[in-house]
Amino acid sequence: MKKRANLRDVAQRAGVSVATVSRVMNTPARVSPDTRNRVEAAMSDLRFTPSAAARAINTGRTQTVAALLPTLANSTFARFADGLEARLGAFGLSLVVATTGEDPEVELARARQMLNIGAEAIIVTGASQSADFRAFVERHMVPTVSVSLFQQDAWLPTIGYDNQKAVLLALDHLMQLGHHKIAVVHGPHGHNDRTRIRLEALKQAEVAANGALTFRYFEAPFSVQGGSEAAARLLAQRGDETAVLAFTDVLAGGVIHRLHSLGLKVPQDFSVVGMEDLPSSASLYPPLTTVHLPVRRMGEQAAEALAQWLDNGIRPDHQELPIELAARSSSVARQT
């Protein structure tokens, strides 16, 4: 196999020093156009590809950002990562992803691993990290932002949507349709502050309604199967609920599937509302009413915020992204 060209080979071909080749790669504005053109031509002739490790040694930069995500099995985080990586690439930055399973100890371990391989910045989900994680970030002074929520009193810059507003938007839609007895299907909330915020908002709304609004809560894994099993429990303990509010579209899809399989109709027997607005949600039967959460845009803005932080050293402000209701056919006025 032919030996890969190195800096010395390029310098010899271009008739310049190794230091000049390095300047062309790292600070091209400091090299005359004629010399730069000769070096770039030599790189092309030799099919020279700069080594990331060598560049890191020369510049002190790895151009790498780490994202610590709960899972990639959840479409929310897959779409977020897609937007994040695309926008980071526009800034010349690369993305490394690790999953945490919402486990604080795993999150800290992954953060250490990411710093060990040279990550310059970290993205996390939510703002309820452990005290050890916070101490780690502050000790190493690593630029870190949190996504999937907007919380102005959080210890990290947050880039996302207001989870309280989002769930209350879904609730308001159902109440305007006359639904006041609602089943709530949600995921585990032990280490998930986004779910906790939504649950707390609903509980406060129930108290404020003074008996005019009631909920029954069904916890389930964030999956179609989880939504289906939650719907089965709802029907096994049949109360007088007329609507289901699911915290994700995936859960809502599972609910609709189980209701249909048992001979019930959506929205005639139950109105169903989700949260996120997956690309496939408009194609469900019936098309799913949901709250649109701009998860891809969230990835893009997280990339922009970190790129600027790495470039100018200025910590970004909290950024709230807009949400909106996508009203479709899975929710109608309560049948009387």
Q: In which element (H, E) is residue 203 found? A: helix 193-209
CA atoms of 297 and 275, how far apart (whole Å):
16
What is the pTM assigned to this prediction?
Answer: 0.82
- Is the omega angle on the peptide bond into residue 286 within 30 degrees of 0, that is, cis? yes
- Indicate the DSSP class of residue 29: G
For the residues of 150-181, what is the DSSP string, one character each? --TTSSS-EEE--HHHHHHHHHHHHHHTT--E
Q: Walk me through the domains of the chain, giving residue ranges and CATH numbers.
A: 7-57 (1.10.260.40), 64-161+295-323 (3.40.50.2300), 163-293 (3.40.50.2300)
Phi, psi dihedrals of residue 324, rounded to the nearest 5°: -155, 155
Comparing CA positions, the residue from 197, 204, 202, 201 lying closest to residue 216 is 202
Terminus-to-terminus CA distance in the chain, angstroms? 78
Tens-of-pLDDT digits for all 336 residues of the chain?
Answer: 567 788 888 899 999 998 898 888 777 778 999 999 999 999 889 888 766 555 554 555 678 999 999 988 888 899 999 999 999 999 989 999 999 998 999 999 999 999 999 999 999 998 889 999 999 999 999 999 999 999 999 999 999 999 999 999 999 999 999 999 999 999 988 788 899 999 999 999 999 999 999 999 999 998 999 999 999 999 998 889 999 999 999 999 999 999 999 999 999 999 999 999 999 999 999 999 999 999 999 999 999 999 999 999 999 999 999 999 999 999 999 987
Query: How high is the pLDDT of residue 152?
Result: 93
Peptide bond before 267: cis, by omega within 30 degrees of 0? yes
Q: In what order do the strands lie in the sheet with 158-160?
A: 94-99, 64-69, 121-125, 144-147, 158-160, 319-320
CB contact at 8 A, 160 and 150:
yes
